Amino acid sequence: IVSDDNSSDDTKSVVQNLQKDDDRIKYFLNQNYKQGPNGNKNNGLDQASGEFVTFLDDDDELLSGALSTLMQKA
């Protein structure tokens, strides 16, 4: 899930290119919450349907194996 707060960095077209290779990637424009990290997280949570959620901001990287490690701890 990618929640976009009307950013000016062409987020939508970047996500659309990624969606060509992976249809699990979903794009949602944040129109319901204040712009910024917390509003975007709330917007993403509204769209989530899984049992577990993790967050990455635009300057974060998820290390290989990180999700497996988190699931083992859950």
For the chain, give the percent of residues with pLDDT over 90: 77
- What's the pLDDT at 43? 95
- What's the pLDDT at 39? 92
User: What are residue 4's DSSP bridge partners?
Assistant: 29
CA 72 distance to own-chain centroid = 22
The structural domains of the chain, with segments of one domain joined by +, span 2-73
Q: What is the pTM of this model?
A: 0.81
pLDDT band at 52 (very low <50, low <70, confident <90, very high): very high
pLDDT band at 37 (very low <50, low <70, confident <90, very high): confident
Rounded to the nearest integer, the mean pLDDT of the chain is 93
